[in-house]
């Protein structure tokens, strides 16, 4: 059995180191925000995991399109990896968002466009997995998964826009269009450092997990192939 | 009429058809024999354009599959163990529907012809879900030949038919075959295949392992031919295994 | 027995003709049994009844929640119809029959979409007067009917596509709502909003963005479905 490639091993170590550093930066090093206090620190992780979830989704769609045009099963493995990683990180996104929301907006949950869209994405991920579970034929499983990923990907922005016509109370950190949005704040340079480092950290973590998942998928396929050979 | 070279079909990691070679001349009636799981249904589905080959050349009526599948479909009549009929419609309505889908001209006359062929003229306005299995299969034949296809693909058409229905199917198939159509039929019923076929191919483990024309096999010797082919194939496989391990 | 002599000439049936052949077939079969229509109508009526008790609708809040109730009803009754419509094809192998015909694949898709739409409209035509009478609300406004039309189209376009997939899985009936609802949310959101605004008599410039979204969704997903349908049925 092939052991992990060197670069992957480096990524493993790098991930761990970066996460520890990111935690230090976010929890201890960055200055405390004026209005919200320490809970604002969740923000450093909240956006980062959301970003990874979005990448997972994007990867699933690209892999889906590639599978439909080429028919190569390796694209299916990549697609599933993207969805599984995305599923976990989207969940973390919702949870961290909730933790942040409670003290700031005084509610665990709110019907705001970005939050709803994140939840819809999570539901689409889960539906994807359930669709695959119900199909035995590997080629059909891959094809249907690819198609559903594409449909999901197109529908999510449409959902977002259809909700957006409502007023939002979600903090608009980068572009402050609506000053009435509670929880908006401007980032100091130190905060920016913590933020971007966290973003980079979780990108690395996400990539590492994706790589591991793809490896598992490939190994799993090899096992199936060997099993087939045995029974021939 | 049909030309197949090095046909490979996989389902996931399992290879069902492993470089299958097959030929059919116009007017031949080929009995395709083989154990369960050999790939007969898979092969027929590829010939009928319902399934796509992973590799290899498949030419039906001069058209390449799957690229020219649209042109081929017109010339194919397919019978499987499912009747492909709508239970909530009458026999007449079912045929009308297929007539439209296949652009059948002079439909009324045509419909009368095929219903007479399968002896269901009197049941034209009855709902298909009231038909017995045998009757559904007969209507299915009418459906299959409605558009006058050059090639008929039959997958286990006798399944579930009682003696009377089977004999009727025999008669119909003989008549259809006599009109110069090319027929490929899979069946476990060796006696019936022996009566109808002009040539017999044995499909085992994804390949045609043996082929013989009607004259080369005595009437009651089809079973012997079939068994022998399978034994030879099994022996060859064992030899190959031992050579690989030894 | 007579000899078969007819030699029909055409190579491929026109897409247009094929679509209408499929639609006619579905309508004829449904007309005979009326199983689908009856089931959907009764189910929809029951849902409305349950809402009556669940929400204790007094006339004051009625105008605000009517749209929501209507669309929940249509959404759930719709899945019944979609499931049944495709199950009919799976039965007795008729899906193969559709695929064997010398017609463009899209003809099968659009034929099913139109048939499913007609069923959905039929149910809506019954439910709207019923609701109007039961709750003394006038639902016969052209704006509202337009929204119901556009929303139904979006729902059925995606629903037909997904039901073609789910009918080939093990978990069949249960899976369709799970797959369908997240994808069809933009339709529900926009349709409910636009419907509510129409019932409240809000100005058009408030309503238009929602209608535009419905139109956009319908166009985008019809195009997408057309592109993707082949991959669902080609093995």
- Give A11's pLDDT tier (boundaries 50, 70, 90): confident
Stretch among A60-74, A93-107, A150-164, B102-116 having the lowest mean pLDDT: A93-107
More confident residue, B215 or B17: B17
Q: Give whichever of A100-114, B192-206, C47-61, C138-152 has the largest mean pLDDT.
A: C138-152
> Taking 70 as the threshold, does the pLDDT of residue A174 lie above it?
no
Task: Closest CB to C6: pick one of B66, B78, B110.
Answer: B110
For the segment C176-208, what is each residue's pLDDT rounded down to a tens digit? 999 999 999 999 999 998 998 888 888 888 888
C-beta separation of B201 from B31 below 8 A: yes
Q: Specify the pLDDT at position A185.
A: 64
Mind telling me how many Å the CA of C134 is from chain A's nearest CA?
A: 31
| CA-based nearest residue in chain C for residue B91 | C29
Q: Which residues of B touch C93 (CB under 8 A)?
A: 80, 82-84
CA-based nearest residue to C8, from B110, B152, B49, B182: B110
Helix (H, G, I), strand (E, B) or coil at A33: strand
Would strands B199-204 and B207-213 be described as parallel, antiparallel, or unpaired? antiparallel
For the segment B47-67, what is each residue's pLDDT rounded down to a tens digit? 999 998 988 999 998 899 888
| CA-based nearest residue in chain B for residue A229 | B14
DSSP annotation string for B85-154: --TTSBHHHHHHHHHHHTT-SSHHHHHHHHHHHTT-GGGTTSBGGGS-HHHHHHHHHHHHHTT--SEEEE
- Give C24's pLDDT tier (boundaries 50, 70, 90): very high
Give the separation between CA C139 and CA C125, rounded to whole angstroms.
11
- A228 vs B14: CB contact, 8 Å cut-off? yes
Three-state SS string across C149-189, please?
Answer: HHHHHHHHHHHHHHHHHHCCCCCHHHHHHHHHHHHHHHHHH
Q: Is A226 within 8 Å of chain B by CB?
A: no
User: What is the longest distance spanned by two Cα atoms in chain B?
Assistant: 68
Q: Specify the pLDDT at position A30.
A: 73
- A154 vs C171: CB contact, 8 Å cut-off? no
Mean pLDDT of B100-116: 90
- A146 vs C168: CB contact, 8 Å cut-off? no
Q: Specify the pLDDT at position B43.
A: 92
Stretch among A168-182, B16-30, B186-200, C156-170 having the lowest mean pLDDT: A168-182
Q: Which residue, among C174, C175, C184, C185, would best test binding to A if mutated, counting the most A CBs under 10 Å from its CB?
A: C185
| CA-based nearest residue in chain A for residue C185 | A159
Subunit partners of chain C (3 or more CB pairs within 8 A): A, B
More confident residue, B221 or C33: C33
- A127 vs C182: CB contact, 8 Å cut-off? yes
Mean pLDDT of chain C: 88
Task: Closest CB to C101: pick one of B101, B114, B176.
Answer: B101
Give the separation between CA A162 and CA A113, rounded to whole angstroms.
9
Q: Which residues of A touch B11 (CB under 8 A)?
A: 137-139
- B11 vs A225: CB contact, 8 Å cut-off? no
Mind telling me how many Å the CA of A122 is from chain C's nearest CA?
A: 10
Q: Which residue, among C186, C193, C207, C213, would best test binding to A if mutated, counting the most A CBs under 10 Å from its CB?
A: C186
The whole model's pTM is what? 0.88
For the segment C25-51, what is each residue's pLDDT rounded down to a tens digit? 999 999 988 888 898 999 999 988 888
| CA-based nearest residue in chain B for residue C28 | B89
Mind telling me how many Å the CA of B242 is from chain C's nearest CA?
A: 36
- Give A177's pLDDT tier (boundaries 50, 70, 90): very low
For the segment A109-135, what is each residue's pLDDT rounded down to a tens digit? 777 777 888 899 999 999 999 999 989
- B103 vs C92: CB contact, 8 Å cut-off? no
Q: Is C18 within 8 Å of chain B by CB?
A: yes
Q: Is B108 within 8 Å of chain A by CB?
A: no
Q: Which residues of B touch C104 (CB under 8 A)?
A: 70
More confident residue, C158 or C39: C158
> Taking 80 as the threshold, does the pLDDT of residue C5 lie above it?
no
More confident residue, B75 or B245: B75
For the segment B168-198, what is each residue's pLDDT rounded down to a tens digit? 888 888 888 888 889 999 988 887 888 888 8
- Give B167's pLDDT tier (boundaries 50, 70, 90): confident
- Give A2's pLDDT tier (boundaries 50, 70, 90): low
Q: Which residues of C touch A158 (CB under 8 A)?
A: 186, 213, 216-217, 220
Q: Which of residues 102-141 of A touch B (CB under 8 A)?
A: 137-139
Subunit partners of chain B (3 or more CB pairs within 8 A): A, C
Which distant-in-sequence residues (6+ apart) come within 8 Å of A111 by Cβ? none
Q: Specify the pLDDT at position C4.
A: 46
> Other CB atoms closer than 10 Å to residue C150's CB: what's the count?
21
| CA-based nearest residue in chain A for residue B237 | A232
Q: Specify the pLDDT at position B47.
A: 92
Mind telling me how many Å the CA of A143 is from chain C's nearest CA?
A: 7
Which distant-in-sequence residues (6+ apart) come within 8 Å of C74 by Cβ? C44, C120, C123, C124, C127, C148, C151, C152, C155
Task: Closest CB to B11: pick one of A139, A221, A225.
Answer: A139
Whose structure tokens read 């297929």? Answer: B98
Q: Which residues of C touch B74 (CB under 8 A)?
A: 10-12, 102
Mean pLDDT of B201-224: 78
Q: Specify the pLDDT at position A176.
A: 36
Helix (H, G, I), strand (E, B) or coil at A106: coil
For the CA atoms of A142, A146, A147, A149, the dihedral, rounded to the nearest 10 degrees, stands at 140
- C186 vs A162: CB contact, 8 Å cut-off? yes
Instruction: Give start and end residues of each alpha helix (H) in chain A.
Output: 6-24, 42-70, 73-105, 113-133, 138-164, 189-231
For the CA atoms of C94, C97, C98, C99, the dihedral, rounded to the nearest 10 degrees, stands at 120
Q: Specify the pLDDT at position A232.
A: 63
């Amino acid at each position: 059995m092939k052991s992990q490639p060197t670069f992957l091993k480096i990524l493993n170590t790098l991930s761990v180191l970066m996460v520890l550093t990111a935690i230090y930066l976010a929890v201890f090093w960055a200055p405390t925000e004026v209005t919200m206090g320490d809970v604002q620190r969740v923000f450093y992780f909240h956006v980062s995991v959301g970003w990874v979830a979005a990448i997972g989704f994007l990867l699933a769609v690209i892999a889906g399109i590639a599978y439909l045009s080429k028919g190569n099963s390796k694209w299916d493995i990549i697609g599933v990896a993207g969805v599984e990683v995305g599923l976990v990180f989207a969940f973390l996104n919702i949870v961290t968002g909730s933790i942040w929301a409670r003290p700031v907006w005084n509610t665990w949950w709110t019907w705001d466009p970005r939050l709803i869209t994140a939840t819809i994405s999570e539901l689409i991920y889960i539906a994807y997995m359930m669709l695959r579970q119900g199909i035995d034929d590997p080629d059909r499983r891959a094809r249907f998964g690819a198609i559903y990923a594409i449909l999901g990907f197109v529908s999510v922005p449409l959902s977002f826009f259809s909700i957006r016509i409502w007023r939002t109370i979600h903090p608009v950190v980068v572009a402050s269009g609506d000053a009435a949005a509670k929880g908006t704040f401007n980032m100091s340079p130190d905060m920016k450092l913590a933020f971007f480092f966290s973003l980079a950290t979780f990108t690395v973590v996400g990539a590492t997990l994706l790589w591991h998942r793809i490896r598992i998928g490939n190994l799993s396929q090899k096992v199936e192939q060997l099993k087939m050979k045995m029974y021939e | 009429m049909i030309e197949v070279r090095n046909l490979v079909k996989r389902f996931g990691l399992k290879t069902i058809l492993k470089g299958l070679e097959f030929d059919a001349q116009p007017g031949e009636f080929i009995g395709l024999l083989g154990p369960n799981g050999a790939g007969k249904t898979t092969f027929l589905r590829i010939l009928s354009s319902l399934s796509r080959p992973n590799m290899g050349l498949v030419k039906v009526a001069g058209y390449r599959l799957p690229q020219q599948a649209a042109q081929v479909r017109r010339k194919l009549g397919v019978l499987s163990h499912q009747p492909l009929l709508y239970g909530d419609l009458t026999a007449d309505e079912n045929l009308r529907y297929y007539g439209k889908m296949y652009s059948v001209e002079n439909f009324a006359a045509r419909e009368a012809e095929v219903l007479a062929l399968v002896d269901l003229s009197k049941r034209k306005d009855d709902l298909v879900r009231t038909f017995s299995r045998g009757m559904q299969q007969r209507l299915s034949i009418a459906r299959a030949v409605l558009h006058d296809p050059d090639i008929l693909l039959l997958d286990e058409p006798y399944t579930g038919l009682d003696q009377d229905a089977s004999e009727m199917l025999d008669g119909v198939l003989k008549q259809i075959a006599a009109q110069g159509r090319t027929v490929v039929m899979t069946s476990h019923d060796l006696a019936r295949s022996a009566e109808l076929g002009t040539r017999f191919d044995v499909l085992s483990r994804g390949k045609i392992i043996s082929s013989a024309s009607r004259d080369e096999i005595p009437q009651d010797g089809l079973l012997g031919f079939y068994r022998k082919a399978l034994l030879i194939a099994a022996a060859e496989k064992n030899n190959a295994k031992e050579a690989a391990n030894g | 027995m007579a000899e078969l002599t007819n030699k029909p000439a055409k190579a491929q049936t026109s897409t247009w003709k094929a679509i209408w052949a499929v639609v006619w077939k579905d309508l004829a079969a449904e007309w005979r049994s009326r199983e689908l229509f009856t089931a959907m109508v009764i189910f929809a009526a029951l849902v409305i009844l349950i809402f009556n008790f669940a929400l204790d609708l007094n006339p004051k809040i009625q105008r605000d929640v009517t749209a929501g109730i209507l669309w929940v009803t249509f959404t759930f009754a719709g899945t019944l119809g979609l499931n049944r419509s495709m199950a009919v094809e799976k039965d007795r192998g008729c899906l193969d029959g559709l695929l064997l015909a010398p017609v463009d694949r899209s003809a099968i898709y659009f034929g099913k979409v139109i048939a499913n739409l007609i069923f959905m409209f039929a149910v809506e035509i019954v439910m709207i007067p019923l609701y109007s009478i039961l709750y003394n609300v006038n639902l016969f406004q052209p704006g509202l009917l337009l929204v119901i039309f556009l929303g139904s189209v979006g729902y059925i376009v995606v629903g037909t596509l997904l039901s073609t997939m789910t009918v080939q899985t093990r978990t069949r009936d249960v899976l369709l709502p799970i797959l369908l609802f997240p994808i069809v949310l933009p339709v529900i959101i926009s349709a409910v909003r636009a419907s509510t605004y129409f019932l409240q008599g809000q100005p058009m410039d408030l309503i238009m963005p929602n209608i535009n979204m419905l139109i956009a969704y319908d166009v985008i997903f019809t195009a997408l479905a057309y592109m993707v349908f082949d991959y669902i049925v080609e093995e």
